[in-house]
Each structure stands twice: as structure tokens, then as C-alpha cells.
Structure 1
Amino acid sequence: MSFQQGLSGLNGAAKSLDVIGNNIANASTVGFKGAQAQFADVYAASLNGVTGNTAGIGTKVAAIAQQFTQGTVEATANPLDMAINGGGFFRTVVNGTTQYSRNGQFQLDKDGFMVNAQGAKLTGYGTGAGGTVLPGSPVPIQINTADLKPVATTRVDTEMNLDSGSLVPATVPFSATDPTSYNKQTPIDVYDTLGNPHVMSAFYVKTGPGSWNVYVAADGVEITNQKVNAAAQLNPAAVTARNAYATAAASTPPGNLAAAAVSYANAARDAVVAAATAAGATAAQIATITSTANSAGTTVGITPAEIDAKIAAVVSVPPVRAGHLNFDVNGALSTSLMAPQTLPLTVTLPIYPPTGSETTLTFKFGFTNTTQYGAPTSEKKTTQDGYTAGNLQRFSAGPDGIILGQYSNGKSQALGQIVLANFANPNGLTPLGNNAWAESSTSGVPSIGSPTTGSLGVLQSSAVENSSVDLTAELVNMITAQRVYQANAQTIKTQDSVLQTLVNLR
């Protein structure tokens, strides 16, 4: 009999207590995975090998195995906190080294990268134009806080029912300012190339059974009249006169502003009169425009913008319909009755007063599912595809790892996608501390992909995965390990007593 078995038992029990103590110490560590000491018996080898009647010589630690079980998921107030529910690890990089972790406590650094407390950057897929996720080699995720660029309207769609029993309006011709000259008006905001909103109003005028004319107004002015109003904005002579006024105003001392104003008024008058004449204005209407421009030019202290406004206030030319709608006996739009016109209509909206954007906004105007039934005229829905600029308000990750940014203009766009990594043998990962592991030869190469695909789990934002340690079970294990330690100590004590008996033989 020897002391070897007892000593090995004491060492094994001490190692088990070390592991249990480490588990208990990390019971509140986010993403921590408990470990378990695993033991193997030991036999002494001889020349003839180990026989069935050979006593073992103790125990040894075979492995300290991590227990990659799912921890409980707890909600937090931080939108950058993320928990993995299922398999996989967050993939991070620090100083060029790739690490893997289950701790999803992240924050933004000064450069907009998502990092953990140790500064390791979370990796994933980047995005291209329009927020399109670009799968490929994972890169550190950087949140782009730049404003969302405006998008000009290219299509407007309206769905409505026009009452087949409606009467032809009492007032003819149509006027956007006279409700008795049309049956229905539907306004909607559209956006120019700089994201400025403009009210596009569609007016529906019944002309007979199943037949309707459609007129369009921009910011309350029928578009033919608005085109006349905008005539001076691109006219070469008017542009030259406007620039001359700006130069005089910027001079020190100021130049002859009165003469510059008269010059601009004359150039603007000529441009608007030419446009109004082409649009079919009467002699009386032309005379009104001319007298108004002449009077405005001699007004003390007036500016080109104020001259434009005075001229626009008196412009009145015959309106031109944007198109017409014809319905068959079943109340549906009839392609043959509308021929040669086809839907959607093409509408060119003048941008006036100028905003610095493109001077016109051209878009398609559709009437999908529009009907003419014997029911009150009603607008079901009207949509358009443009929007103004927006600044990033908030962002969060979805179950699939896509980080979705929400902007002040009501739009949302993907800012990146978090990837997860999994291993054939997670127990083969090398612990690095700080809740991180590294790939090793026994873990296998990582399988990288988007959450919810393959063996990878689901992400939950504003949540963390608590430690997988069961504190009650660890305390019971600690009592057991203590008893094992005491029992091994007792075997050494017994061996000592036996040896003492042999020494005392006479």
C-alpha cells in the first residue's frame, strides 16, 4: 500500500474545487460558460502489461471541459446589447487577431465601430447603395451616421373610386381655385432632387358618362400657369439681369439697385409674356402681366424675388389637362377608350419658386385599381416613392442580425449585418479570458454565416445572455468535492496508521 492514491485524490479534489470556485466567481459574468473537471483513473504499466488483478494508482485530471449550454436571456435598456439564443459566437477582431465570444455587450467607439469593453470590434457584412447587404468576408461593423440622402419622386399611384352618379361641374373651364369647377381633389407631397416637399394636387373633372379629365397643380397653382410663372428663372436675359442686381447689392457701397430692379422687371416681363402668349393667354391677360411688371420694377427697394411674386400673382392662362380617364360599363378603366393615351400618365411639375434643385420634377402618375362605381367618390390610398433627407435617430439589430437604422424622415435602411461563427468542436476552443476564445486545431475551422441560418442561433437586441452557471448546483458540487477531499485525506491517515503498526512490531 502507498500514499499515491490518496495524494492523487487530494490533487483531483483540489482541482475540482478550483473549477467550481471559478464557476461561482463568474455566476454573474455575461456570456460566461461554466466548466467541469473530468477525471480518469491511472494504472501502473509492467513488462507484461496491466493485468486484471492490478490495483490502480490513483486519478488524474483528464480535461477541464467548457459547458456550452444556453444561458438565460435578460432584457436591458441598451439597444447595442445583443444575446444569442442558440448556437454560435460573436466574431470580433482586436489588433488583427480574431476572437469569438458569447458576451453581447457592445457600444460605439469614437469612430462609430461596435466594440466590447476590451475594444474588440464586432464583425459582419457591410452595405452598399440603398442599404443592400453585401455578403462576403466579414469586416468590422461601422455605423454610418451620415444623413440619408433625399430621393426625388419618380412615381405617384392613386387608388380611388369616382362616383358614376356625379354631375358635370357647373363652372367651366376648370380652375384650381374654384371648387365648383371640379368634382374631386387629392393632394400629396412629392419631393424634388434636394428633398424639398411640394404639394401635388390632382383634380378630377367629370365631362360625361364614364369620362373624366385629370388636371394637376403644383403648390396650389395649375401646372400650365406654374410653367409660365417659372419662365423668367431660366431665361438668359432675366438670369443676366438677376445676377447684375446681386452684384450691385453685394458691392460696397451698393450699386444702383433701382436701375437693376427695373432692368430685371423688364427682362422677367418679356420672358413671362412670351410664355403666357404661347400658353394661349388673352390680350387682356397679357396687358395685366405687362402693367404689373412695369409697376413692380419702379417700386422702391423691391428685389427680383418680390418682382417674380407680383408677376406670378396675376398670371392666368388656360389650364391644360394632364390626361383623361375612361371607364367601361363595369366601372373599370378601359385601355381602348383611353387610346392613344396610355397609363401611367407622365407629369412634369415646375419647381417654383426655385429651391436650387432641378427646375422640373417629372414622374409617372398611375391609377392602379381606380374604379367608377355608383358609390360616393372616395380616395382609397395615394402613394409616392420620394422622400426628404433624414438624420439617423436610432438603430437596432433584428433576429437575422441586420442592423436597421431609423431616420427622421420615417425611412429605415440597413446599416450592416452581424455574422455568427460556429465550430464542430466548441470544447476545442482556446480560452483567452475576457469572455473570449480563439480557434485551435481541435476546434476545427469556424463556420460563418448570418443568424438563423444553419446551426446558428437567433439574435435578440436590447438583451444579454447571462452566465450558464447554476449556482445551486455548483454549491452542491462544492460540498461533494469537499467530502471527496476529506475522504482522500482519510486514506492517507489510514495508510500512516498501518505503517505505524508495522514499525511497532518487535
Structure 2
Amino acid sequence: MSFNTALSGIRASNTDLQVTGNNIANAGTIGFKSSRVEFGDLYSASILGSGGNTPGSGVSLQMIRQDFGNGNPKLTERDLDLAVNGSGFFVLSDQGERLFTRAGAFGLDDEGYVVSATGSYLQGFSANAEGNISGILGNLRVDVNTQAPRQTTGVESAFNLDSNETVLETVGSSFATDGAAVGVTQVGLQDATTTTTNLGAVATPVDFAATPTTFDITLAGSTPASGNGTVSINLNASTANSVQDIVNLINSAIFSAATPINVQAVANGGNIEFRDLTEGASSTISLANVTGGNALSTALNGAGPSVAGIPAATNGYLSQTLEIEGPTGATVTFTSDAGASAAQTASELNALAGVTATARTNATLYATNFDNSNGNLTLNGIALNANNLAALANEINGLTTSTLPGISATVNTAGDLEIVSAVGTDLRFAFEGPLPAGQADIQGRAGTGLQTINNVNDAAVIGGNITIVMEEGYAVADSLPAVGNLFAPLTPASFTDVPINAFDPTDQNTYNHATSNPVFDSLGNPHIMSQYFVKQPYDPADPSTSPNHWVMYVQIDGQNVGDPDPTLPSPENTLPTMAGFNVHFNADGTLNTTLTDSMLISNWTPLGEDGEPNGALAPLNVLQGGTTPVVEPPSSSNFEIDLAGSTQFGNDFAVDDYDQNGYATGRLAGLDVGSTGIIFARFTNGEAQVLGQVALANFNNIEGLKPVGNTMWAQTFETGEAVIGAPGSSSLGNITAGALEESNVDLSEELVNLIIAQRNFQANAKTIETANATTQTIINLR
């Protein structure tokens, strides 16, 4: 019997050695749980029972119990290395069999499924496209394909608009030149002539010392008036050997006089002429008190009356005076020059405070009778060679940035050529000699007469019109003459209210705040949406205004995205307009959602880098049926803007929040697993998508789990049913990503256990040796 007792002890010690050795062998195995051996003593019993002095029969193996205490976490920084912090097991599926493990070293297979090192599928709860967890257990999968783009259908943004901002836009008044001469085609000489008195031929030489000549020469009616007057000439000291010598002596006397006049003697071949130095002046030159008996005196006595000068063609504008009164009551007087171009007058008006002026000149060159076969038509002195209007338009447009600045031309539907000076310079048409002139029929302002030039002497000149805008507080106090050829009598009806400093997205002085953020079309292309905020005026006496009122304007890629205006003429009634939305705030600075507009961008055509539509979904404007909410999946480029949470406080402008639901095409960049097991996929487009949630399982009796190898356990009857749920719920622990749970084996303790098991084994072997010796002694008895 002692042999059997010792053998049971050896067997028990051997089992203890095996379990301890297994623990030591798996001290570095991730998720491994150490075991211990539990023994029980044996006693023999008969049917009749046994007494209290019955010796034991050895030892039996009662249980190999596993310690499911947590191991230490080991940080790895690897996305799919997971550790359970607390109770619970990862759930795996191995060819349909459900297994459980604490070893969280997972990876992806070639189909994107999350698998263990043995290829078992990690179980969890899948998520839909919106990231909602389904609650249905299955194989977790990470889609490693390119993430399809998503079009922006909603923008949520919250701003603080500074309540201390001032209203930038004011209301001024506008009026324009509307006089009888404005835009009328004026025909006259190309070149002005000067007033001339011809003395005819004068024989030389003339000895003025021997026969002096005296005479008085008078200029009247010339400009400037200071050049008019009379000069007495006394030639008595020299001999003139040529007509030019006589001319020089006369001019010397005129210009050395105490008060010179604006007349010059000129040698014209063998003739002597007196000329007014001011071209185009309708003046007179008269000669008187001639004395002397030489050839010059004879010519002076025989001179006829002067021929008056003729001015060159001009725009026909006379001088005009405006008295402009400012906000303080002070007045400024402005006087335009006679014949000044609209461009010049506008430029001078722009130098006045509170005044802005623009000018424009229009002319029509009619196709009927047009002839430039000799290629000698000129526009503002620039020769134009084209012999048909289409070619002439191209020639003019080719010079608009050089010799004909600001001048352009187009052929209208009637086939006539419309010429425009965008800056208001005069348009001057002529034919240049020596070749014969062609013909040009020209009209300025509509409703004025048509004029023809068909010779090389004449020119046709058209002046421009001027539009004058006065800022708030400025007004015209007087206009002289009241009925001029630039202005008809100015009445209240002559003035129109106009916005000053109206919103212009290219001028940052016209809006209070602005911000830009990306949106995406249906192809995933990014575009920049710009939002501009303009504070609106408030007048308590004007019921059409309200306090705390702003307008938000929206552009995308610098393009208008507002619905077309059907009241405009074609084709303007089909073009996008500036999208603007009213934004109102309450007295406490919060958004007034009742008065604030619903904001739908419904006329955005996504454009490519070439400025052409890029093939993404087109808009569906309100006139065509566009409405809110925007349906999913979208069938147009429409999207909504929500300003919920926006405020108007006395602080600087700030973007408190911005979010839009679109994104570009993206590739998987990495995975993140949260403490509750939520798996986030991070993409190169900056998006994060919820793919699913890792499931954990727990049991009423985890010690009933059956080890199946590879640090996995199988459910048994003793465990009860698995309780499967989300990490952090019920009794389940949390997930630590980027970490693995180390083995919970305590090597120090196991080495001590190894020594004890070895000692027990040796002691039981000694028992057998002793029993053998005693038995041998009995056998040796004779």
C-alpha cells in the first residue's frame, strides 16, 4: 500500500512540475494566464466503514486552476494591439467556433478583416455609413480601399460678429451731364487756322536808315486777352537784304515793346504775313499810321483786311460752374474748361472732397456708306487700315492697352460699329491726307444727328458724358449757367439716391468681416466658400430698418452663387447673382432664428481650374424646385448653411465653430481604437469614420473556461452563457489601444514552486525506496 501512496505522490509532484514548467515557459506569452495545481488526500473505506485510525492512501489531483487576474499592460504604439483593462475577453470566430482570448495582438488580412495571429476573426459590432453602431455581432472589417468622396450638403458655422462695428455703406446722390451738347457729333476743321494779314511780296534790299518805315499794328479779339493791343513799329537803322531780314526786324520791334502783342511776322516764300499766335482765334489784325517811301511801306499801305482764324473741331462743351456744399455748409466752386474732355473734367471733379466722377464716351460708325479703301481713317490721331467694320473692331481692340487706351469696339446686331471710351476721352474721327478721303457716317448720343466726314480737311468729334456721385451730406448749391450745354436745369428730379461704399467682395473696405472655408463637390474636388458680413444701417424713424441686422454674402471660388433674377433682360436673367442672406440678432446678442433667413446655396456650378464646369452635380435653383432640406443622397450641388450658435457680442470677430459634411477622396492612413472599443479609421483627407466596435465577453464562472491553446479558451457548461457587450458597459472592462496584456506569471513564485515540486518528487521517491527496503527485509526472512 505504501508503494501506491508514494506513486500517487510522484504523479502529483510530476503534475505540479508540469504546471509550474508550463507557467515558466509562457512567462512571455501575451495574454497567458498562469495555473496552479490543487491536490486532495485519499483514504480507503470499506462497506463497513473505517475507523479514525485509517492511514491515508496517497494524493489525488483535484483541479488545475487558472488565475485570470490581469497582466501588466505593455505599450507597443501599434494601432491594432489591444489590451483589456478589467474583466472580459476578446471574442474570436475560428471557422465558426466561438473562442475567447485576452491576447489582443490583431492585424488585418488581405480582405481587411481584423484577425488574430492564428487567423481567427475578431468579433464586434459593425457601423453604418453615418457611424451608428448596429449592435449585431459579426466579423470586424476595415475597408482598406479608397474612401469615396462625399459632397457637401450641409455647413454648420458659428461666428461672433463684433457689435461695435460701424455701418460702412451710406446713401449719396448721383447726377449726370444731360445738356444739349453732351455726346453730339461736332464737325469742323481737323487743324485750326490762325488770323492772317498778307502784305504780299516785298522787294529787297530796303535801306531803312535812308528811308525809315513806321506803322502801328493792332491785334483784337484774340485769346488770351493780354495778347491784344497795339504796338508802334519804327524801322530806321538797318538795311534788310531779304524778306526774312524784314521779318526779323519787325518781330524784334514787336516783342521788345513795353507791352508786346500776340502777333508774329512770318516770311511765306517772298511774301510777308502777320499771324495771330493763337490758332483758331477769330481775331483781327489791323495796320495804321504807315509812313515811309520804301517797298515795305508800300506793301503796308496796300494790305487788305485780315482773314480771321477758324478753330479746329472740338466736342463743343462750354465752361460750366458747379457750387458744391459739404456737410459743414462750406461750399467749393468748380469750373470746367471749355472744350475739355469728359475724362479731364471727371478727373478734376475727383479731386474734390466727397465727389466721385466717372466718364464714358459712345459713338456709332454706321456700315452704310463706310469706305476706308485708302486705309487713312484716323481715330484720335491713330491711323486705322481696316476696310470693313469687323476688321476695324479687331484693330481698335488690339490698341486698347497702347495707343488707344480704354477704347474698345464691337459690331452690333445691325452690323454697325459701336465704339466706347471707358474713361471718357473725346472720340475724334478724320481722314488723313495726302490720299483721298473715304466716308464715315458717325453718330454720338442716341437721338442726336448723324454727321458725315468725306474729306481730309474735316474732323468729327464726340464728347463723353459724366456721372457724378456725391457722398452723404454733399449737395449742389448752384450751377452756372443754369441752362448750360453740359447740364440742363438741375432740379430734385435730376438727383438719384445711390449706395456709397456698397458691398464689393474685391474691396475689403466694403465689408466688416470675412472668412473662407472649404466645401466639396460630388466628385470630391475642394472649393473655397467665402462668407462676407456687412452690418446694415438702423434708423428708428424708418420701419424698414431694424437693429442688430447684418447681411451675409456668399461666393464660391470667387463666383456668384445666388439664384438668377428673372426681372433682368436676357441673358442676364439666367446668370447667377450675389447670394445674400439676412442675419438678425436679439438684444442679448444671440441669433434671432425667427428673422434670420433660411440659407440655401442653390445656384453653384462647380468649376475646374480652367473655369469651365468640371462635371460634378449641377445646381437646382429655387425657381427650378430647389428647397430645404437637401435630400440624401444629393441630386444637385445644393447645400444648406446653418448659423446656429452665432452671436453678436462686443468682441472681435471670431469663428467659434465650423463643420461641413463633405470630403475629398481619401486613403486609409491609420486606425484608432477608443476605450469603449470604437474603431476609427483615419483617412488622408482628414476624415475619421467609425467602422465598428470591439465586443467583449464575460462569464459567471470564468474558471470553467476550457483552454484550447494559443491563449484561447472555449465556453463550457460550467461557465454559463457568455455575456457579450460593449467595453465599459456592465461588468466589462475598457480597451487600451497600442498596448498588449503581458502574462500574469510571477517567475519568482514559480521558481519557488519548482523547488517545492522537486523536493516533493524526491521525497516520494524516497518513500518508495524505503518501502522497497522493508519489503526486501521481509522477503529475506527464512
Q: How far, CA to CA, are the matches of 2:31 and 2:748 in structure 1?
A: 19
- Which residue type is aligned with residue 561 of structure 2? I
Q: Are the aligned partners of 2:99 and 2:712 in contact in 1 as well (CA < 8 Å)?
A: yes
Whether 1:355 and 2:354 are equivalent positions in the alignment is: no
Q: Which one of the candidate residues 548, 554, 567 is aligned to 1:216?
A: 554
The answer on whether the counterparts of 2:89 and 2:101 sit within 8 Å (CA) in structure 1 is: yes
1:340-419 → structure 2 map (5 Å cutoff): 342-353=596-607, 354-360=613-619, 361-372=637-648, 378-389=653-664, 390-419=666-695
TM superposition shift of 1:74: 0.5
1:346/1:84 CA distance change after superposition, 3 Å: same
Question: Letter of the aligned partner of 2:656 in structure 1?
Answer: K
Aligned counterpart, 2:528: 199
Counterparts of residues 121-140 of structure 1 (less than 5 Å): 121-136=121-136, 138-140=137-139
Quote how far apart the aligned CAs of 1:481 are.
0.9
CA distance in 1, matches of 2:742, 2:593: 64
1:433-472 equivalences under 5 Å are: 433-472=709-748
**8 Å CA contact retained: 1:153, 1:190:** no
User: 2:130 is paired with a residue of what secondary structure?
Assistant: helix
Structure 2 residue 322 is matched with structure 1 residue 322 = no
- Cα distance in 1 for partners of 2:691, 2:679 equals 5
Q: Secondary structure at the match of 2:17?
A: helix
Specify the alignment match of 2:358 in structure 1: none
Contact persistence 2:36–2:64 (CA under 8 A)? yes
Letter in 2 for 1:421: A
| Cα distance between partner residues in 2 of 1:396 and 1:69 | 26
Q: Secondary structure at the match of 1:23?
A: helix
Distance 1:385 1:19, change over 3 A: same
- DSSP 3-state at the match of 1:359: coil
In structure 2, relative to structure 1, the CA distance for the partners of 1:203 and 1:19 (3 Å cut) is: closer
How much has 1:387 moved relative to structure 2? 2.1
In structure 2, C-alpha distance between the alignment counterparts of 1:455 and 1:372, rounded to whole Å: 48
Within a 5 Å distance, the mapping from 1:92-491 to structure 2 comes to 92-136=92-136, 138-146=137-145, 147-169=147-169, 171-209=500-538, 210=547, 211-224=549-562, 274-276=570-572, 322-327=580-585, 331=589, 338=595, 342-353=596-607, 354-360=613-619, 361-372=637-648, 378-389=653-664, 390-491=666-767
CA distance in structure 2 between the partners assigned to 1:375 and 1:46 by the alignment: 97
**468-477 vs 198-207, which moves further:** 198-207
Cα pair distance change 1:391/1:490, threshold 3 Å: same
Tell me which moved more, 85-94 or 169-178.
169-178
Q: 1:384 to 1:362 in 2, by over 3 A?
A: farther
Identity %: 36
Counterpart amino acid of residue 527 in structure 2? H
Say which is worse superposed, 424-433 or 378-387, in terms of deviation: 378-387
Check the 8 A contact 1:87/1:455 in 2, yes or no. Answer: yes
Higher RCO, 1 vs 2 (CA within 8 Å, ≥6 residues apart): 1
Q: CA deviation at 1:277?
A: 5.2
Q: What's the CA shift for 1:373?
A: 5.0
Coordinate RMSD, CA, aligned = 2.8
Name the CA shift for 1:133/1:367 in 2 (closer, same or farther; >3 Å): closer
1:378-402 CA distance string (max 9 Å, x none):
1333524232233221112221111
Cα deviation 1:271-311 (Å, max 9, x = unaligned): x97231577xxxxxxxxxxxxxxxxxxxxxxxxxxxxxxxx
DSSP-derived class of the 2:138 partner: strand
User: In the superposition, relative to structure 1, how do residues 327 and 395 fare at CA in structure 2: closer, same or farther (>3 Å)?
Assistant: closer
Partner amino acid, structure 2, of 1:220? G
Distance 1:412 1:449 in 2: 24
CA distance in 1, matches of 2:716, 2:588: 73
Q: Which one-letter code corresponds to 2:142 in the other structure?
A: I
Q: What is the CA distance between 1:46 and its match in structure 2?
A: 0.7
**SS of residue paired to 1:131:** coil
Aligned CA distance change for structure 1 residues 385 and 321 (closer, same or farther; 3 Å): closer
What is the total number of aligned residue pairs between the two structures?
419
Superposition TM-score, scaled by structure 1 size = 0.75
**Which amino acid in the other structure matches residue 145 of structure 1?**
V
1:277–1:130: structure 2 CA closer, same or farther, 3 Å change rule?
closer
CA contact (8 A) 1:156 1:366 kept: yes
Conservation of the 8 A alpha-carbon contact between 1:158 and 1:383: yes
The question of whether the paired residues in 2 share the 8 Å contact of 1:31 and 1:102 is answered with yes
Residues of 2 paired with 1:321 and 1:415: CA distance?
Answer: 38
Distance across 1 between alignment mates of 2:8 and 2:587: 98
TM norm structure 2:
0.50
Q: How many Å apart are 1:499 and its aligned residue? A: 2.9
Instruction: Mark the CA change 1:94 to 1:375 in structure 2 (over 3 Å): closer, same or farther.
Output: closer
**Counterpart in the other structure of 1:58:** 58
Tell me the CA shift for residue 369 of structure 1. 4.7
In the superposition, relative to structure 1, how do residues 218 and 470 fare at CA in structure 2: closer, same or farther (>3 Å)?
A: same
- Residues 36-69 of structure 1, C-alpha deviations (whole Å, 9 max, x = no match): 1111111112121233221111111112222222
Relative to structure 1, the CA distance from residue 165 to residue 65 in structure 2 (aligned partners, 3 Å threshold; closer, same or farther) is closer
More off after superposition, 94-103 vs 353-362: 353-362
CA distance in 1: counterparts of 2:591 and 2:704, whole angstroms: 68
- 2:580 maps to a residue whose letter is A
Shift of 1:328: 5.8
Structure 1 residues 86 and 227 mapped into 2: Cα distance closer, same or farther (>3 Å)? same
Structure 2 vs 1, CA of residues 156 and 498 (structure 1 numbering), >3 Å: closer, same or farther?
A: closer
Q: Which runs of 5+ in 2 are unaligned?
A: 171-499, 539-546, 608-612, 620-636
> What is the aligned partner in structure 2 of residue 19 from structure 1?
19
CA contact (8 A) 2:150 2:662 kept: yes
Corresponding letter in the other structure for 2:553: Y
* Aligned CA distance change for structure 1 residues 486 and 327 (closer, same or farther; 3 Å): closer
1:497 aligns with 2:773: yes
Q: Deviations over 1:443-476 (max 9, x none)?
A: 2221111111222222111211111111111110
Please tell me whether Structure 1 or Structure 2 has the larger radius of gyration of its CA atoms. 2
CA displacement, residues 424-445 of structure 1 (integer Å, 9 cap, x when unaligned): 2222222221222222222222
Return closer, same or farther for 1:227/1:478 CA change in 2, 3 Å cut-off.
Answer: same
- Higher percent of residues as helix: 1
Asked if the contact 1:176/1:221 (under 8 Å) is kept, the reply is: no
User: What's the CA shift for 1:196?
Assistant: 2.5
- Aligned in 2, Cα 1:142/1:320: closer, same or farther, shift over 3 Å? closer
Q: Is the 8 A contact 1:203 1:216 kept in 2?
A: yes
Aligned equivalents of 2:44, 2:589: Cα separation in 1? 98
Distance 2:531 2:570 in 1: 27
Q: Distance in 2 between matches of 1:31 and 1:383?
A: 44
User: Structure 1 residue 7 and structure 2 residue 7: aligned?
Assistant: yes
